[in-house]
Amino acid sequence: MKTSIAFKELVLFENDDYLVINKPPFIATLEDRVEPLNILALARAVEPDPQVCHRLDKDTSGVLAIARHPEAYRHLSLQFEHREVNKVYHAVADGRHDLHDLVIDKAILKQNDGTARISPKGKDAQTSFSTLRIFTQHSLIECRPVTGRMHQIRVHLASVGAPITGDEIYGGKPFLVSSIKRGFRIKRNTEEQSLMKRMALHAFSLEFTGLDGRQIVVQAPYPKDFTALLKQLSANVR
């Protein structure tokens, strides 16, 4: 993991109460047993008392809210608890899927191995899905989680046969350019690598109410790897 990440360069929005950043992929939100670098540690290096208000998976990029003081943290935590925060994710899924406000309401059970699965014994979980664009063998899907269960979007998409590209834990396949690009060749005696080294999931936008009662809406631009994937998919639509 690179240690040269400049926290201030990640900031998309800030006021006296909150910092909203564009989290890079491959970095944990909170303390990680493997990597010493994490978003909270980066924030603490420049802020006196930051608290991360929610969490993104290590490989997930995108918008993440950080409170600058305890009152701001409590204020936003209550909105998450009451399901008043609007979260929008974009995912590239394997296969062609034409979804229009499809609501998946399936309980999710956390497993001892760090994964999750659909189970009536799990906690209630709801996500709405709408297709933004269909490519030759993939789909760009807007995901709006109502609840915030572990791996919720990943599990719900997999449950309808639309696993996230690159999410091998839940059935997604690595993206190989050769799978869609005619005449694509790799060097002799080498093995083709996936274009993205992670699952294609990005937290696109976040909307919540500030302490002053005003709505805060922040969108996070796609990172380079997500943009490169969409570029390849767009260039090879048949």
Q: Which residues are catalytic?
A: 57
Question: Which amino acid would we find at residue 71?
Answer: E
Burial of 212 (0-12, 13-18, 19+ CB in 10 A): exposed
Cα–Cα distance for residue pair 96/161, rounded to 1 Å = 10
What residue type is assigned to position 226 of the chain? F
169 CB burial (10 A radius; 0-12, 13-18, 19+): middle
166: left (phi over 0), alpha (psi -120 to 50) or beta: left
CA distances, 209 to each of 74, 157, 206, 213, 217 (Å): 12, 29, 10, 6, 9
Q: Which of 56, 159, 178 has its CA nearest to residue 116?
A: 159
